Amino acid sequence: MAAPKTLLVLENFINGKFVPCSSYIDSYDPSTGDVYCRVPDSGKEEVEIAVTAARDAFLSWSSKSLQERSQIMNKLADLIEHDLEAFAQAESKDQGKTITFARTVDIPRAAYNFRFFASSILHHTTECTQMDYMDCMHYTVRTPVGIAGLISPWNLPLHLLTWKIAPAIASGNTVIAKPSEMTSVTAWMMCKLLGRAGIPPGVVNIVFGTGPKAGEAIVSHPEVPLISFTGSTLTAQHIKEKSAPHWKKLSLELGGKNPAIIFEDANLDQCIPTTVRSSFANQGEICLCTSRIFVQRSIYNEFLKRFVEETRKWKVGSPSDPTVSMGALISKEHLEKVKNYVKKARAEGARILCGEGVDSLALPTGNQNGYFMLPTVIAEVKDESCCMQEEIFGPLTCVVLFDTEEEVIKRANGVKYGLAATIWSSNVGRVHRVAKRLQAGLVWTNCWLVRELNLPFGGMKASGIGREGAKASYEFFTEVKTITIKH
Ligand code: NAD
């Protein structure tokens, strides 16, 4: 059925060309609740065509010099930066995030992902060892893996997709990428720039559609030997099962239930605004957001009072309003899910200190049907509660008290996830001690979300397998071989 003309209609990008799809799905503007875009509902057939294009492009792309690939990627970064405002507007409308967040975080980072890997790819070296008593030397070579299957979520759409595409193509692979069906617009916009940047047809193919159809077709395709996935732990489990018969290389970046541990010697003037931000930035829809705040007994009451006051300053409203701190949640279903956790907490006897069900939310006329919710703080919740154990991925955070260092380490580690953690203390010895014992792939002390792309990023336990970053991504997107020479 032809799509109505008034809606934005996306097309797949395969072999350097936009190609229509036989069926489409609706995509909503979360700030109004209206359908505004139609996304290809691709499946096996479209993925098969993309695999052919990626296979045909591989030899030529992987044979290019590193410098040439690097130059092309820098050009793509230039083009994204040139169109930054258009990309930011589109990302905000598609995802519900504030225009400020899209302008200052998502799109600059998407451009920087290309620039970063364009540079880092030039600086890797391989290993060499000597075995003189055998008159031998050994060295390693690295080669691209082939066609990379890249699947990304809806919370940081272009940011996370380019975090995969950039290292994959820098390393000489060709790719088939699938953004979330809920946030596909900026990926489609970027396709318009690929040819202008000099990326040859077939090197980057983007197939739009749902996880069960398009995603699964990529994951189970025998000619796609590598899958880089960012998304939920549940989907990752499914991907592991589907890809297992093909012995695929997997990188899985998954959910979190991230603790912030606030000791009595913390600088609360810095800690409180940062912890409000780490709880509610991007509507709490960042895998690294804080959702369990452990506060030492002697400062608990003061912390709670000031934390709630600071949270109440966060304005919720139209994402296009630059004075707003929080926009809309991604979907009606997700909003209901997050609100349900508040209901469950209340039923369990927890105290809702601000936000959902406590304060009133005033929205502009045009946003009455959007998926908004106030930032919500819950206290007196038990560690076993679903609010303290499950990833909620919304603007809801729990504050609980603790007494000792030993106790808080145990409780912070007492969830199935292990992505990120934050420690607030002015005691250097304690900071090192606790950081080492926390089960988390990333630990920030006295700060949050300060990213160093050179170093490994990723989670432990149910938060994932593998790491991403300059060296980690290079190792993932290449195969290593050891060669021995007798002389
Ligand atoms: P999701 O798992 O529902 O979807 C992620 C992607 O996988 C989407 O593109 C989706 O279409 C696709 N998908 C779904 N089912 C699939 C299947 N059967 N086969 C192949 N692909 C499939 O996750 P989401 O709701 O889009 O994103 C939120 C989740 O992502 C949260 O759990 C969050 O913590 C996590 N996340 C993790 C990181 C990280 O770096 N660790 C970063 C951002 C988000």
CATH number at residue 249: 3.40.605.10
Whether residue 328 is found in the same domain as residue 263: yes
Whether residue 326 is found in the same domain as residue 426: yes
Nearest in space to 160 (alpha carbons), one of 249, 57, 41, 282:
282
Nearest CA owner, ligand 1 atom 14: 211
- 40 φ, ψ to 5°? -55, 140
Q: Is 457 domain-assigned?
A: no
Whether residue 282 is found in the same domain as residue 250: no
Establish whether 253 is a catalytic residue. Answer: yes
Whether residue 135 is found in the same domain as residue 226: yes
Whether residue 221 is found in the same domain as residue 295: no
Q: Is 1 domain-assigned?
A: no
State the CB neighbour count (10 A cutoff) for residue 240. Answer: 16
Whether residue 430 is found in the same domain as residue 469: no
Q: Is the CB of 394 under 6 A from ligand 1?
A: no
Rounded CA separation 27/458 (Å)? 30
64-122 residue pLDDT tens: 999 999 999 999 999 999 999 999 999 999 999 999 999 999 999 999 999 999 999 99
Q: Of the residues 46, 91, 181, 253, which is catalytic? A: 253
Whether residue 434 is found in the same domain as residue 301: yes
Entry pTM: 0.97
Whether residue 166 is found in the same domain as residue 278: no
Percentage of residues of the chain with pLDDT beyond 90: 99
412-445 residue pLDDT tens: 999 999 999 999 999 999 999 999 999 999 999 9
C-alpha of residue 214 to centroid of ligand 1, in Å: 13
Nearest in space to 283 (alpha carbons), one of 348, 356, 186:
356
Per-residue pLDDT at 272: 98
Whether residue 225 is found in the same domain as residue 358: no
Q: How many domains does the chain have?
A: 2
Range of the domain at 88: 8-255+463-486
Whether residue 302 is found in the same domain as residue 285: yes
Whether residue 211 is found in the same domain as residue 85: yes
Kindly give the pairing relationship between strand 226-230 and strand 249-253.
Answer: parallel
Query: 204 is written with which tokens?
Result: 């980057």
pLDDT of residue 4 exceeding 70: no
C-alpha of residue 107 to centroid of ligand 1, in Å: 20
Q: Are 162 and 110 in contact (CB under 8 A)?
A: yes
Among 185, 287, 335, say which to mutate for ligand 1: greatest number of ligand atoms within 8 Å of CB. 287
Q: Is 118 domain-assigned?
A: yes
Q: At 34, which amino acid appears?
A: D
Spell 110-122 as b/e; 16+ CB within 10 A means b.
bbbbbbbbbebbe
Among 235, 289, 390, say which to mutate for ligand 1: greatest number of ligand atoms within 8 Å of CB. 235
Q: Is 339 domain-assigned?
A: yes
CATH of the domain at 361: 3.40.309.10
pLDDT of residue 152 exceeding 90: yes
Nearest ligand 1 atom to alpha carbon 218:
20
Per-residue pLDDT at 3: 45
pLDDT of residue 232 exceeding 50: yes
